[in-house]
Amino acid sequence: MTATATTARPARNATAVYVFAVCRGLAAPALAGLPGHRDGGALRLLAAGSLAAVAQEVPAREHDEEALRRRLAEPAELEGYARAHHEVVAAVAAATTAVPLPLATLYLSEERARQAVAGNAARFHRVLDRLTGRAEWGLKLYALPREPAAAAGAAPVPEAGAPQDPPASGRAYLERLRGRQRDREARREAAWLAAERVDAAVGELAVAARRLRCHGQEAGGPERQVLNATYLVDAGRARELAALVARLRRDPALAAHVRLELTGPWAPYSFADEGEAADGEG
Amino acid sequence: MARDEPVPWQGEEGPYGPLGLPLVDLLDRVLGAGVVISGDLVIAIAEVPLIRLSLHALLASVSDRVPAPWADGGRL
């Protein structure tokens, strides 16, 4: 038996230790009632020096790379896995300051998990200090399709084969097509500018900000996401944030172009590092 | 109609209500969480083939209402 468990599959009844989050040992919350992963045991706090890891024993054969490749490839399993993870992280983060760990952070034994946490205690404490009294808020902006007024005022471009209202000439027709293209570009530009403006305004209120990857456009959907950002905000400023977003929504210059969606407060997933990613993906 | 309130899943029962939040926003975060330590069994899950491969299934099945994450970039 060797320790290279990443290449060989774990024994049939071997267990692994799944770690959800790390908090200060003295502030560790009660975990009763939190189920964690369906196939695991009761949630436990693993003491690791001055820190505590929120952990669960799970069957290793169901959580090794091969098993997860299979399980997470099924949408329902992926969703269940992600929500089980989040439920624990969110409950812990609601009760105390915690560093959320990424999905599927697994150790071969409790001892290995303790070592990993204790060995990085200084980094965890720095992150915990940074997260104390703060929460993550998500902000998404969607470019609106052409507003009805403009759509009604503009000369319609007939669909191919539409018999009514034929263009006076091919030239006029092309001119209209170009106009529509220019209009589209102008609207896209306006949405991007709105996103920059909103991001700057909200960023001023935040301790740190990150840009997440924009979601793809819904198939055939009218709205394109132009900003998927997330902010670390002092708990005492949450109301201010809500008021700011409400104000931005009412701003006619923005409202004509974008729709804002605020989510949160989140456990501070996106800020669970030492801040090196605080400037986003560039 | 624009809502001035944060998303509805922020209820009285607690600020981090686990149910009802969009899966796509959740995946943005649980997969993209900053990494302070790495695990033994599955390493760097957010960056690598494991999840990228897995997302094929998700991307193929997301409903019209829920846009796929990362559809605009990355080598899936």
Q: What is the pLDDT of residues B16-25, one digit of tens each?
A: 444 456 788 8
Which among A68, A265, A273 has CB closest to B34?
A273
**A266 contacts in B (CB within 8 Å)?**
16, 29
Instruction: Specify the length of chain A in residues.
Output: 282
Question: What residues does each domain of chain A span?
Answer: 15-131, 134-271
A163-192 residue pLDDT tens? 555 657 889 999 999 999 998 888 889 999
A73-93 residue pLDDT tens? 787 888 899 999 999 999 999
Cβ distance of A79 and B42 shorter than 8 Å: no
Query: Nearest C-alpha of chain A: how many angstroms from B56?
Result: 7
Q: How many CB pairs under 8 A join A and B?
A: 209
Examine the pLDDT at B73 and tell me if it is beyond 50: no
Residue B1: its pLDDT value, please? 41
pLDDT band at A162 (very low <50, low <70, confident <90, very high): low
Lowest model confidence (mean pLDDT) among A2-6, A21-25, A58-62, A201-205? A2-6
Residue A214: its pLDDT value, please? 82
Residue A207 buriedness (CB in 10 A; 0-12 / 13-18 / 19+): middle
Residue A275: its pLDDT value, please? 67
Report how far residue A198's alpha carbon sits from residue A210's, in angstroms, rounded to the nearest whole number: 13
Query: Nearest C-alpha of chain B: how many angstroms from A25?
Result: 17
Report how far residue A14's alpha carbon sits from residue B55's, in angstroms, rounded to the nearest whole number: 28
A144, A258 Cβ separation under 8 angstroms: yes
Report how far residue A265's alpha carbon sits from residue A51's, in angstroms, rounded to the nearest whole number: 24
Q: What is the mean pLDDT of chain B?
A: 52
CATH class of A134-271: alpha beta
Mean pLDDT score, A238-246:
96
- Provide the sign of the torsion angle of the four alpha carbons A187, B26, B64, B19, taken in this order: negative
